Amino acid sequence: MSSSSFYDIRLEAVAEDGTRRSVYQKVLDGLALPWRDETYQEVRYNEAMTVELVRTSTAAPLRGLLCNEVIFELQVGRKRLRLPENYWFLHELGDSTFIIEEMAPGQTVFRPIFEVNLRIVPSPQALHQYKVMLEDLVQVHAGLARDVVSRTVVRRSTFAGDAVRELQPEPMIGQLREGYQVLREALATISQHPGSALQTVTHPASYRSGDRPAAAALYGLLRSPGTVMAADGTPVRLGKAVLRRPLMSTDLEEHRHISVRLRALARLAETVATHCDQTAALLRHERGRWGSSARDDRTSVFQTTYVPRIELLDRLAGEARDLSAQFRMLRSKYPFLRDARPPHGVLAPTPLFMSRVGYREAYSVLRRSAAISGLLVNSDSIKLHYRSLASMFEYWCFVKTINWLRERYGAPEPRDSFSVVGGIYRPTLEPGQFFEFRVDDTHALRVTYEPSILPWRQARSEGQRYGATLTANPLRPDIFVEFLHGDLVVAAMVMDAKATSRFTMQKIREMSDYARQIFEIPSGRQPVRRVFVLHRDPDVDYLSNLPPRRPTQLPATVEVIGAAACVPEKVNTVPPHIGRLLRSFIRCCLAWSPEPGTSAGTTAALRSELDAAGSDDRERSMPQLETFWDSTVSLPEDPTAGLL
């Protein structure tokens, strides 16, 4: 070696039959760091992985990251590390990265010194569930976007009715191109004999024989400065006045609709082009991660994976802009479209649209184009944001919770949670987003995705409602459900999503004690009454710490802990247990909530409805409950533990 510092890094995979293979091995001189390998190293979902690391210099701590998660730490003074075999990619798909970071002496942050790219061959089950969740996310976000569009007055001038669809540039450009071809031929036919009608126009003019001025116009003629009167009061010459005269005009309602639709199609094509440019820009940011040049005759991962997609997006953007210019040119080419005013009514099948050649073809394009001119939902942001099945499962569980509440209680309360940029709705995937639903005229339900509940001293200094105890780091439950009575939080429920397909009780034991760690800073009360793990193991349907023969009405002090299966099997369906958990939680909260005098009848009717809807849930889960009660967790000895 050329220096006293070197690193020997090995990645090995162990197949199900016990055979071992080397995924990657590299001996690096300290002077060659940082090192990034730009090629793919293929790993399979059913291979157990292990890492072995040997180094000569032990002056700095190291850590390894896989899928942005720390999998090992090597402290100062240690030279060798070997991790036990683990199925890291059982629930992953797409591309991943294995990174080793080092903290230099005197520094406080880690810097990457080694990076290798991994290409995961996913399991058929994981691939199917990923596709189901992706389609679900797009559909649910489209429904939420439709709620927002339907409540805004701007949609009448911005969007074509309530049309909401997923943005797919390539087929949309094909539809725009086909529509342009039909409109170009139809308008060429119309221009030979454009429709016209006798219209009455009003403008200042001199009187001429045949005019029939109204009384007001006649009075204006007599008072006009150009009017000359004889001595006996007889008009010798009349001046000018505002007169109504018939005129042949091509400013028809049909021409107005065609003109407006051509402008809308030009804007839509420009919107698609902008979207392609923005998506390509996001992909170009990956150049720094994967590298942009080849080393040792090896093809860059960026070049093999991202460059073809970027080239396609650039080509589609160019085609969309050409179409936008062609639509604008088509409108300005014909005077009967260029001079047309805005239409007065909605597009409808008029006699002219139905009976004349050219107009029939144009009307069919107008009807079809209305379906692609509504609000567009950008699903690419979901694909770029989430590549890990585990991360997507967490967000999918949150969105399906929103879906169940939306179907039951209608649209969420309006707020600034949707951003429409250039006619495209981009789903908000950031932690901390929330939706609030009205349960009745007094109660509401607020659902938050990955809230950050800070340690209580920090939370108190920042004026937050909740704080966390017994921890130096923020608590981040995946789904945080609050039942509100006015501004009062009656109770809260935490649902933590774990993408594991083989559920064990260890998942519950590893979970934070949200019920005892989260409390309200102003009152000191601990609102979390229910904590559940959502997983993908169909063999473990439902577990809870409640006994099989429990009272129908639970006291407010009881903490319910358990797990429920939420398997993505079919698109546009909510896993049954999400509805059962929410229904049971709402039922209990209504019983714990102070009874409002103005809504007692509404609340009582809602309780009866929830009881009837959930009457079969308890019977269905009894065998699992009894097994769980006998072998796992029990209620605390003091039912009021953790409460003030």
pLDDT value of residue 188: 92
User: Are 334 and 457 in the same domain?
Assistant: no
> What is the chain's percent helix, strand, coil content, to nearest 5?
40, 25, 35
Whole-angstrom distance, CA of residue 210 vs CA of residue 54: 107
Neighbours of 166 (CB within 10 A): 15
Those residues with Cβ within 8 angstroms of residue 19's Cβ, 6 or more apart along the chain or in another chain: none
By mean pLDDT, which of 10-14, 37-41, 358-362 is the weakest? 37-41
pLDDT at 389 over 60: yes
Do 51 and 173 lie in one domain? The reply is: no
Residue with the bigger pLDDT between 534 and 548: it is 534
DSSP class of residue 106 equals T
Q: In angstroms, rounded to a whole number, what is the distance separating the alpha carbons of residues 456 and 235?
A: 94
Q: Where are the alpha helices (DSSP H) in 286-430?
A: 287-290, 301, 307-333, 335-338, 351-355, 359-370, 380-385, 389-409
pLDDT grade for 639, boundaries at 50, 70 and 90: very low
What's the N-to-C CA distance of the chain in angstroms?
65
The amino acid sitting at 145 is A
Helices first, then strands: H and E counts in the chain: 20, 26
Q: Within a domain: residue 642?
A: no
Identify the band that residue 515 occupies on the pLDDT scale cut at 50, 70 and 90. Answer: very high
pLDDT band at residue 197 using 50, 70 and 90 as cut-offs: confident
Of 491 and 122, the one with more pLDDT: 491
What per-residue confidence (pLDDT) applies to 373? 63
Mean pLDDT is lowest, of 201-215, 335-349, 371-385, 622-636, for: 622-636
In the predicted model, is pLDDT for residue 339 greater than 90?
no
**E strand segments, 184-303:** 197-206, 228-229, 235-237, 240-249
Give the integer Cα–Cα distance in Å for 371 and 360.
Answer: 18
Contact 131/389 with Cβ under 8 angstroms? no
Please choose, from the candidates 118, 103, 99, 5, the residue with its C-alpha nearest in 3D space to the C-alpha of residue 57.
5
Return the DSSP state at 598.
G
By residue range, what is the domain housing residue 256? 164-190+252-373
Residue 69 CA from chain centroid, whole number: 24
Label residue 581 by pLDDT band (50, 70, 90).
very high
Looking at 64, 90, 122, the residue that finishes a domain is: 122
Q: Do residues 13 and 41 lie in contact, with contact meaning Cβ atoms separated by under 8 Å?
A: no
- What's residue 82's pLDDT? 93
Query: Which amino acid does the sequence have at 119?
Result: R
For 54-58, 444-448, 504-508, which range has the lowest pLDDT when averaged over its residues?
504-508
Peptide bond into 455 cis (omega under 30): no
Number of domains in the chain: 3
User: For residue 533, what are its two tokens?
Assistant: 């793990």
DSSP 453: B
Which carries the bigger pLDDT value, residue 603 or residue 460? Answer: 460
Is pLDDT of 71 > 80? yes
User: Helices in 58-116 by DSSP H: which ranges?
Assistant: none
Task: Name the pairing type of β-strands 164-166 and 375-377.
Answer: parallel
Based on the fold, state whether residues 308 and 439 are members of the same structural domain. Answer: no
Q: Output the CA angle 147-150-152, nearest 5 degrees.
A: 110
The distance from CA 612 to its chain's CA centroid, rounded to whole angstroms, is 34
- Asked whether the predicted pLDDT for residue 378 surpasses 80, the reply is no
**540-556 pLDDT, tens digit each:** 889 988 877 666 667 77
Do 363 and 401 lie in a common domain?
A: no
Separation between Cα atoms, residue 70 and residue 173, nearest integer Å: 43
Higher pLDDT, 342 or 303: 342
d(Cα 55, Cα 379) in Å, to the nearest integer? Answer: 44
**Does residue 21 sit within a domain?**
yes
Mean pLDDT across the stretch 563-580? 90
Shortest CA distance to 162 belongs to which of 369, 363, 373, 345? 373
Type of residue found at 188: A
Integer Cα distance of 383 and 392 in angstroms: 9
For residues 268 and 317, membership in a common domain is answered with yes
Instruction: Tell whether 221 is covered by a domain.
Output: no
What are the two backbone dihedrals, phi and then psi, of residue 307, each rounded to the nearest 5 degrees? -60, -45
Query: Looking at the structure, do residues 366 and 410 belong to the same domain, yes or no?
Result: no
- The H or E element that residue 118 is part of is strand 111-121
Does 44 score more than 50 pLDDT? yes
Question: What is the distance between the alpha carbons of residues 155 and 291, in angstroms, rounded to a whole number?
Answer: 44
Same domain, 183 and 299: yes
More confident position, 491 or 499: 491
Among the listed residues 437, 439, 447, the one whose alpha carbon sits nearest the alpha carbon of residue 399: 447
Instruction: Examine the pLDDT at 248 and tell me if it is beyond 80.
Output: no
The SS3 of residue 242 is: strand
Instruction: Please give the pLDDT value at position 131.
Output: 83
Percent of all residues in the chain with a pLDDT value above 90, rounded to a whole number: 30
Indicate if the pLDDT at residue 72 is higher than 70. Answer: yes
**Which pLDDT does position 371 carry in this prediction?**
65
In a domain, 425, yes or no: no
Which residues partner with 99 through β-bridges? 65, 115
In the structure encoding, which two tokens stand for residue 402, read together? 């929103």
Distance CA 302, CA 559 (A): 50
Residues 327 and 439 in one domain: no
Query: What is the reported pLDDT for 97?
Result: 85
d(CA 407, CA 417): 19
Confirm whether 357 is domain-assigned. Answer: yes
Q: What SS3 state is found at 331? A: helix
What CA–CA distances, in Å, run from 371 to 341, 342, 378, 466, 506?
A: 23, 20, 16, 45, 50
pLDDT at 365 over 50: yes
> Is 1 within a domain?
no
User: Is 444 found in the same domain as 316?
Assistant: no
Question: Mean pLDDT in the chain?
Answer: 79
For residue 166, what pLDDT band results from cuts at 50, 70 and 90? low
| Residue indicated by tokens 């789904």 | 479
pLDDT in tens, 107-147: 878 888 999 988 888 888 888 888 888 888 877 777 777 66
Displacement of CA 45 from its chain's centroid (Å): 27
Does one domain contain both 459 and 576?
yes
pLDDT at 106 over 60: yes
Contact 276, 316 (CB under 8 A): yes
* 526 and 493 housed in the same domain: yes
Here the tokens at position 388 are 């890990």
Asked whether residue 478 falls in the same domain as residue 572, the answer is yes
Distance CA 115, CA 54 (A): 16
How does residue 151 score in pLDDT terms, banded at 50, 70 and 90? low
Listed in order, strand segments (DSSP E) in 186-239 are 197-206, 228-229, 235-237
Q: What is the pLDDT of residues 436-463, one digit of tens each?
A: 999 988 899 999 999 999 999 999 999 9
Residue 153 has pLDDT above 60, yes or no: no
Element (H, E) at 128: helix 124-150
- The verdict on residue 237 lying in a domain is no
The dihedral formed by the CA atoms of 224, 225, 231 and 234, expressed in degrees to the nearest 10: -30
Please tell me which of 232-241, 367-376, 436-445, 610-619 the model is most confident about, judged by mean pLDDT. 436-445
Average pLDDT rounded to a whole number, residues 71-95: 86
CATH, residue 88: 2.60.40
For range 557-586, the mean pLDDT:
90
Nearest alpha carbon to residue 527 among 457, 468, 439, 459: 468
Query: How many Å apart are CA 362 and CA 381, to the nearest integer?
Result: 35
What average pLDDT does this structure show over 296-310? Answer: 67
Residue 448 lies in a domain: yes
